[in-house]
Structure 1
């Protein structure tokens, strides 16, 4: 049944692996789309203008609010909120303005997809290759679904927290007949109020603008993350297939049973080197596309983790809603940063390991069974070509791998412990 399903799909076309993902991302103008109706383009444009306008407006008001900060606790509360909005808006604009660079990445991936058919004669009907690519497709789509769900739940909770908090506060005021106390009116993020909020209508208007800015920032951040992870997953899939083909003993037996085993083996090695060089080209153009946005993300993650640790160290437990609402938001934001950073570091480590493994795979390709000077020269070239590590970087300072993730998390926990002790003293 699985093979039948594979045959029923046009898996020779690279677009068949990206169509579901890009149908979503193209609506947000994060990725290119060839088959889009006029109505869909109009809706996409209105959606884009609507959310980015609110995002930029609220971000400006958040920055102006800094002039009113007079204590460390307020600073640790406002900066993470501002960083979230700023990073989301930045990522969205970055993807829109760098769509041509993304097209180069996708073109290189498409070429890589075509070269993958030339390196394993044993893989009849390319079931192994298609299986690996389908697994990469499912992984990227699963990440898209889970990451969107997490952010939708997160921004919904963030947006409704002030309503719930104000409801209980105002309920307490009415219950105790404290009519001299003004009703509480809070917002999802702390902003400078450009107008006097002296009516319920104005409050609702500002609240909607505030909530839309958070939603827009979440969409921009999420969509950019999904796109970058998608590319990393497919680069990993190509490296895995290359490594598997080089050490495939069944393919070697098929070559040795042919009329010209030496020529066939040499042809396979040449095709593997061409395939590997194209994978490195995909990595090169992807690095050019992503390194700046990942640098900004790493800065935001580092600042966010440190300030969240500071805020956690100064929070004092209380059974009231004034404690639990900020605490749940802090916990949710911390988990979001940890997941975002861990996903990039995990796939960065995977790419690094698979890239270095290519040299070992060339050496372990059973070349000693078909010893020839030309073959050894090709092998040497392939091994040397694989020595340069594939590193996913965030600008000039960050290498996204698991040791980096461990260091940043350890640093944030250490800050929380030290600052908590200082707060108690």
Structure 2
């Protein structure tokens, strides 16, 4: 997943440059306010990863004596005090090997969870910027036919070009993140299933914090996809809300063209899974439950 994201990095940068270019159609209304909210959400997401991972590691270290005592009583070989279950071909329960192994596992865990969150939040953020452009287009369409023939024609032409640009941005967005999200959601189902098994086995606090983080990441992606699809369906409603019935007959043919183009839904595909949506969120949760059943059977 991370390799695909890095590989597509230059194209994603170009996509972000296109999203930040407002020379042709202007800046969407309330853009600065929405950008501020997205920036705050970004900070909160990364704080959750940092604090959650640190808390998870500290709890594991705190429970290390209890884990070592259980190993002796039940003749187990669990690596105690490590943030994630791992197997080593040698004994690590002495200084400084344990400290180095614990630090290494903690760093790897933070990097894996952080990369998953970065990709998911990037999908959410880009989807919101495209939705803002769609809402901007809708406001332009509603006011498109206020005026004489010449101004209405220019307004309609501008709306058609804006819509074509949005479709191109959404297609580019989908092509860059489809494979990433396929790997991400496949991994999410497996990770959630394993964490749920860990929760059932008694590690309720740490496993609960961890699984909540993965579910939030999954929900962010699915909300982004659902909002993009819903916003694309609102374009045809904006056309009907406009004063199209007052337009010149010569313009009504172009209105039909715009209405036909607006029937094309915009979405983010997830490989063979389908598209990002609330329905997919439920499907992944069902898949994680199936994995849990296999692990507990």
Cα distance 1:310–1:398, how it changes in 2: closer, same or farther (>3 A)? farther
What is aligned with 2:163?
Answer: 276
Shift of 1:194: 4.8
Which structure 2 segments of 5+ residues have no match?
none
What is aligned with 2:215?
Answer: 338
Shift of 1:381: 1.3
Matched, 1:305 2:192: yes
What is aligned with 1:329?
Answer: 206
Who wins on radius of gyration, i.e. which is larger? 1
Q: Return the match for 1:148 from 46, 49, 53.
A: 46
Shift of 1:186: 2.9
Question: Structure 1 length as normaliser, TM-score?
Answer: 0.62
What is aligned with 1:210?
Answer: 105
The runs of at least 4 consecutive aligned structure 1 residues that moved more than 4 Å come to 167-170, 309-312, 410-416
**In 1, Cα distance between the equivalents of 2:67 and 2:113?**
28
Per-residue Cα deviation, 1:10-68 (whole angstroms, up to 9, x for no partner)? xxxxxxxxxxxxxxxxxxxxxxxxxxxxxxxxxxxxxxxxxxxxxxxxxxxxxxxxxxx
Matched, 1:234 2:132: no
Q: Return the match for 2:245 from 345, 350, 368.
A: 368
What is aligned with 1:159?
Answer: 57
Q: Return the match for 2:94 from 199, 217, 226.
A: 199
1:9-408 pair list within 5 angstroms: 90-91=1-2, 93-111=3-21, 113-117=22-26, 129-131=28-30, 133-167=31-65, 185-197=80-92, 199-248=94-143, 252=145, 255-256=146-147, 261-312=148-199, 315=201, 323=202, 326-373=203-250, 375-408=251-284
**In 2, Cα distance between the equivalents of 1:102 and 1:152?**
25
Q: CA RMSD in A?
A: 2.8
**In 2, Cα distance between the equivalents of 1:300 and 1:410?**
14
Determine helix, strand or coil for the equivalent of 1:398: coil
Q: How many residues align?
A: 291
Shift of 1:411: 5.6
Tell whether the 8 Å contact from 1:166 to 1:186 is kept in structure 2 after alignment. Answer: yes
Shift of 1:147: 0.8
